Structure 1
Amino acid sequence: MHDDIFTNLSNLSNLSNLSNLSNLSNLSNLSRLSLNQMTTKPWSVREAVEGCVRVGIPSIGLWRDKVAEAGLQESVRLVRDAGLKVSSLCRGGWFCAASARERQERLDDNRRAIEEAAVLGTETLVLVCGPAADRDLLAARAYVEESISILLPYAQEHGVKLGIEPLHPMYAGDRSVIVSLGEANRLVRRLAHPGVGVIIDAYHVWWDPELEEQVAAASGHILGFHVCDWLVPTPDMLNGRGMMGYGVIDLRRLRRLVEAAGYSGPIEVEIFNQALWELPGMEVLHLMSERYKQCV
């Protein structure tokens, strides 16, 4: 299965390069496109920035581990000198822990993430809220809310907003106890603060029978929109996301819903896929740009 996905990606990439399906010099089609660094995971910040410049992608979503490798100030310099915008920084969150000491350490780390986002010039820190430290989901969800409320004044001081990203329910046990857009919306309403909102990621929300209603309910507090596709069969629940148009998500419909709710910001392509990471990075970017224009 892994080999089949790799072959499909490679073939489509080559076709894209050979046929030049739509001229990449027509940058207007890419004006809202952002490369989430996870899509080109093997690349450093420098390589990702240089790739964006070569293809004409105006924004980049950075990951903290990659920024740490390059150095915060060097990452700032690279992005600034390239004329790119930072659409978001990923990730904060992971709040729940077994001990008070660990919980405090995680809050402190989130404060550092807020500071990094401010220095990088992005107003959005993406929160992956984390799993329960034990079997008490209700307590875990309550602590997520408490943690965000604690962090909001600090984020506001730094001009950063906290974007709650609900994950697909399959991740409740190991990544996040916030597992639907409706749940994230209710959390935002309870927090009642202009510095918190939601991140809508196609991979995590496409299945929801209340999707249309909940996207509309997120109007006014959508802080980010991420796209990829859901492959069938899914080769790996974490690293098996698909390139746009390869799976079953109606991305055009979802984009229309998000825009109808008032969001007009960057659209990040965020794809966790081992087969994709084995391709040359520039092939990935050319393919990503073409599939974005065709499918999003």
Structure 2
Amino acid sequence: MERLSLNQKTVDQWGVRQVVDGCARAGIGAVGLWREPVADIGLEKAAKLVRDAGLRVSTLCRGGFLTAADPDARAAALADNRRAIEEAATLGTGVLVLVVGGLPAGDRDLPAARRRVADAVAELAPHAQAHGVRLALEPLHPMYCADRAVLSTLAQALDVAERFPVDRVGVAVDTFHVWWDPQIDAQIARAGARIATYQLADWVLPLPADVLLGRGYPGDGHVDFPALTAAVGAAGYTGDVEVEIFNADVWAQDGDEVIATVVDRYRSLMS
């Protein structure tokens, strides 16, 4: 249980205070926070709530959206990511998750978009290092390539991350996004110390009309969690294991019931 972290999106119906209190009641050691609800109550207040509850912040979600070609949009994205780095430092987490962004409107040049991601990470990495924060590039399932992440595989994320020192830029391994990849075992081994966070959610069918909300409780779908968890452990990862679920039905449930289910599934899958 010490390694279990509840990503705030799993109980999207709750604000920061409710999430922190719920985790404390359930004996969960960490919480993954999102910038928008943190902003709703104030950064310093959120940081104090977590500290006072005896919890830690496993990750902050999210930075990224770095693919803009327009100079003004690119400058705005970089400025926002610098703020996100500073917010992560204030919250006491060493990991800022980056969802790198999809194709700009009317753009079909994927290689160029990926180059812009690498260029932006190069600009952000020194700022992250100065604040003791590691950038975690998160590859998303290919169905999100156009609108959310032009990095679709762990290999693509590592191709960018490996240009930088391991303590500055790592990767996020999210089971929902990588379970299908025939190269995943080899790429997890390749990632090694670059694994900055390990996130759990299941691939359940049928997918909803809004595929963003298609993530299920671990154990409800098609992901081989024991195999992926073993691979991540063999790669040397010993950090928090974060359950992150986007699902309208889950969000409609009582938050404490959601947490109880998360704890039960985590114990069964990680034992």
TM-score by length of 2: 0.97
- The residue matched to 2:66 in structure 1 has which SS? coil
Structure 1 counterpart of 2:206: 233
Structure 2 counterpart of 1:39: 10
Structure 2 residue runs of 5 or longer lacking an equivalent are none
Structure 1 counterpart of 2:117: 144
Sort the Cα spacing of 1:233 and 1:78 in 2 relative to 1 into closer, same or farther, 3 A.
Answer: same
Runs of 4+ in 1 over 6 A off after TM superposition: none
Structure 1 counterpart of 2:176: 203
**Given that residues 166 and 193 in structure 2 are in contact (C-alpha distance below 8 angstroms), is that contact kept between their aligned partners in structure 1?**
no
Match of 1:153 among 84, 108, 126: 126
1:254 and 2:225 are equivalent in the alignment: no
Matches of 2:192 and 2:166, distance apart in 1:
14
Q: Give, as a single letter, the amino acid of the residue that structure 1 aligns with 2:111.
A: L
1:165 and 2:128 are equivalent in the alignment: no
- The residue matched to 1:122 in structure 2 has which SS? coil
Matches of 2:237 and 2:77, distance apart in 1:
30
Matches of 1:183 and 1:222, distance apart in 2:
14
Deviation at 1:98, TM superposition (A): 4.3
Structure 2 counterpart of 1:109: 80
Name whichever of 41-50 and 234-243 sits farther off: 234-243
Structure 2 counterpart of 1:17: none
Matches of 1:33 and 1:136, distance apart in 2:
39
Deviation at 1:260, TM superposition (A): 0.2
- The residue matched to 2:226 in structure 1 has which SS? helix
Matches of 1:289 and 1:192, distance apart in 2:
35
Q: Give, as a single letter, the amino acid of the residue that structure 1 aligns with 2:140.
A: L
The equivalences for 1:54-203 within 5 A come to 54-133=25-104, 134-192=107-165, 194-203=167-176
- The residue matched to 2:20 in structure 1 has which SS? helix
Structure 2 counterpart of 1:217: 190
Deviation at 1:232, TM superposition (A): 2.1
Count of paired positions:
267
Name whichever of 253-262 and 94-103 sits farther off: 94-103
Matches of 1:72 and 1:265, distance apart in 2:
24
Sort the Cα spacing of 1:254 and 1:193 in 2 relative to 1 into closer, same or farther, 3 A.
Answer: closer
Matches of 1:96 and 1:207, distance apart in 2:
25
Q: Give, as a single letter, the amino acid of the residue that structure 2 aligns with 1:285.
A: I
Deviation at 1:285, TM superposition (A): 0.4
- The residue matched to 2:143 in structure 1 has which SS? helix
1:265 and 2:239 are equivalent in the alignment: yes
Deviation at 1:193, TM superposition (A): 5.0
Matches of 1:50 and 1:60, distance apart in 2:
11
Name whichever of 279-288 and 191-200 sits farther off: 191-200
| Identity across matched positions, percent | 50
- The residue matched to 1:263 in structure 2 has which SS? coil
TM-score by length of 1: 0.89
Deviation at 1:114, TM superposition (A): 0.3
Deviation at 1:234, TM superposition (A): 2.1
Name whichever of 284-293 and 235-244 sits farther off: 235-244
Q: Which string of whole-angstrom CA distances, capped at 9 and with x for unpartnered residues, describes residues 161-182 of structure 1?
A: 0000000000001101000001
Matches of 1:64 and 1:189, distance apart in 2:
27
